[in-house]
């Protein structure tokens, strides 16, 4: 169903000359600017709407790549990298609001925890894949985290009681659970007798410069 919606949009963007990387950059830049402009001013509903538009636009990069057969390894790397920047900017803008006019130290600390744990969710997966194992488990993938925070923030300005605090607590709990799930899954896969350490060369020394297995 999703592909039926995104494929025509991807073809339309490709026809007007947009590349997948440009779509990624526009979407991520829009999210960052919107989050850091609207949220610190307390314009939570407007900010959530604009951020959602740019986040959805960013998700079309894959459809554009399929439409003009221009997918690349660097494109995937760029998309993943800018996703982290966009996610961080949303929580940073909200944190800015809480320590400013929002004046709520508890929710500011909770937002900071969500920011850090969100990075950990992504990092653990990337580090596991760097060691040659998959780590796709977890209840809080990026899409779920975005939906929770944007809905909670947007509804809070409409007067829905406790929705922002509840959303942040839910996001914090799900992110923490996902971190634990991925740690357990990665440990199990790395301790599997069939696992081959892809980071070491044939002479048993670690590849690279000063990075060691498990050192990050």
Active site residues: 83
* CB contact set of 183 (below 8 Å; sequence gap of 6+): 124
The span from the CA of 70 to the CA of 64, in Å, is 8
CA–CA distance, 50 with 211 (Å, rounded to integer): 40
SS3 200: strand
CB-based burial label for 109 (10 Å; 0-12, 13-18, 19+): middle
207 contacts: CB under 8 Å, gap ≥ 6? 199, 200, 201
* DSSP one-letter string for 43-105: -HHHHHHHHHHHHHHHTTHHHHHHHHT---HHHHHHHHHHHHHHHHHHHHHHHHHHHTTT--H
């Amino acid at each position: 169903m999703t592909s039926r919606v995104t494929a025509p949009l991807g073809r339309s963007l490709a026809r007007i000359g947009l590349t997948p990387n440009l779509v990624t950059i526009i979407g991520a830049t829009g999210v960052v600017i919107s989050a850091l402009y609207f949220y610190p001013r307390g314009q939570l509903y407007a900010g959530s709407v604009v951020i959602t538009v740019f986040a959805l636009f960013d998700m079309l990069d894959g459809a554009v790549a399929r439409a003009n057969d221009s997918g690349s390894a660097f494109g995937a790397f760029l998309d993943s990298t800018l996703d982290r920047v966009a996610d961080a900017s949303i929580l940073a803008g909200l944190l800015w609001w809480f320590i400013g006019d929002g004046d709520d130290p508890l929710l500011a600390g909770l937002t900071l925890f969500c920011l850090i744990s969100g990075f950990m969710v992504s990092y653990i997966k990337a580090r596991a894949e760097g060691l040659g194992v998959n780590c796709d488990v977890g209840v809080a993938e990026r899409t779920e985290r975005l939906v929770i925070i944007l809905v909670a923030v947007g509804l809070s300005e409409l007067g829905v009681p406790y929705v922002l605090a509840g959303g942040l607590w839910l996001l914090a709990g799900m992110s923490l659970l996902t971190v634990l799930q991925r740690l357990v899954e990665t440990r199990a896969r790395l301790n599997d007798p069939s696992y081959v350490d892809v980071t070491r060369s044939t002479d048993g020394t670690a590849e690279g410069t000063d990075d060691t297995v498990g050192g990050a």
